[in-house]
Structure 1
């Protein structure tokens, strides 16, 4: 008993990424180091299958290279047999592929920027994630995002910063465009004593810095929508390599911005979620409003059900977005197979569905709700395991609209145990 507890403590507390599996690849134990690779707790990994998480074979003396969240690792397996029971230990060693190069840190940071642009779906989230990396690349003290006003195109306003001081600046500073010829994608702006754009110089001074560099980006090359301003505590002029990098980032951020805008337009125009084949958020909210109007005018009862995957982000960390979206598709398919043809299923967000139940009053909701709870409790939604649900249901109330109904459903959510 003592030896077993000693092993569990030593293995579990190990900062090196190690994982113990049975002969089928089911995880029996994992080190702290392995759990940290996926940003989850060790207990979240127990019972999952290593083959599904890392797409590797369970084999003796395995030696392969793999990538986890943009980092490269060498995976080595060892087979053991104790009292007739076969198990495997997989150890992961980080591969430092870019060492010895003077520009290696810049390349690594750029690689991380490119990876993030594929993983993050909204542009504000992309900015919040990548601006600290820009500061690290150029040695800047902080950064802020300026966005052009939609009502007064000659002005920019502050919308985000890497530290809280941007909120004070936002209330005090107006950035007015004095000459549109300064603004073009691919033309970084160096803010120093010679810069003629007075309000940009004022911004640098008010922020408490000596100089700044502005990276312009936008939907079109000749119409800059936003500026990323990097602040420095000293007078900094970019060298030729830094200038080329600023130009590259100007085009890169423009492409990511365009991608996010196209995605928003697609989602607004799309009537179905591409993955789950349920109705899109835009359409399901419009349907709720129409149903509210009919209930108000004609007294037609209806109810709305919400199902949310509570550990969605953890599942993404473990399995990856594609695998989790397959699971979400299987959840939607199961719901549609077990509900009436008149019931309307829509995807409200990445991790939640709502089901519109026409002609269903408070009496009928209990039957539907219990059926759905039983499905969620007993169902299997591969490839992900240990999917944790919460659910809620409500009926139409006088004065309801789609926003009120959705907020009430969120407040009523309870774990499905």
Structure 2
């Protein structure tokens, strides 16, 4: 092959196909190299976003993109890596080659750990912290190394590129096409996040819901719209009953089967639906009025309480899901307690994952998301307060407040 590069005398310089500069030019012109490099950057960016950004619909979409792209590119990457190695392994050892070997090791570790995490996220009860850390470290290392490898490789061949239009054209094409892939990936993530359903499960309290006499006369209720119970939500908002119900799903994912089996026949599960409580609540509502049953609901029926069902406009005083009594989500969403008792706790609404509480393939996606991206799940349901005696005492300590009968007990 003869290039149009010229030597110091201005004469055309003959360059063979085995010349490293020509090999580099072919590498820059390779469609496979472009796709692999661009998708490696996509994997790195989505991975870092998942790790650094706060929980959101966009982050969940990126978990799916990261997983699917990682699986799809594995075979092409391995094919390209073998071919790339065979082209360059017998060349003179340089910094670029050392970076390439380091990148190879990091990528193999990253790919292997990624497959382990994907398997655990889909088939296992949880992902391994050690494998997760391995994937994170190897992924960051691969991202840094691939950028250094490409940048130094170009810098080394830059003089040749300036003299060889074909080389410059190959580099330009590589950069343009890689940019298109990156932009397309960003569009897919953005479009996916915007198009997926997002239902608000948190609602403002209506003006006529609060009982003024409690708020105006008794400081102990701290402006809570749920008086005369001490229970309240963070921000004093109403919660759709869907947000705190659905306990069965906790044991059908392969995660919490034993504790679900223990909860199903428990007093906590039947705290709202058992006949004695229903009879007491009915009599209390008849003697006073429906709103006064909020006093009982803080401990016995939090789902209905926070759904706004303990109201004169709802004669059965129950909300969908009340049969679960103290559900998994209701108890585990408690974020703060006070030793006074009478349900003196604050419940912070949990954040639902994509398609959480659905069925079929959507449920499988949701279960995978919770297991492979558990940060929000743990933040919502694994609070330190759950491990304290005060947590139990919030409900298992009762007294009749003066606000309820005007003399206390």
Query: TM-score with structure 2 length normalisation?
Result: 0.24
Task: Work out which of the two has the higher radius of gyration on C-alpha atoms and give 1 or 2.
Answer: 2
| Higher RCO (C-alpha 8 Å, min separation 6) | 2
Structure with greater strand share of residues: 1
Query: TM-score with structure 1 length normalisation?
Result: 0.24
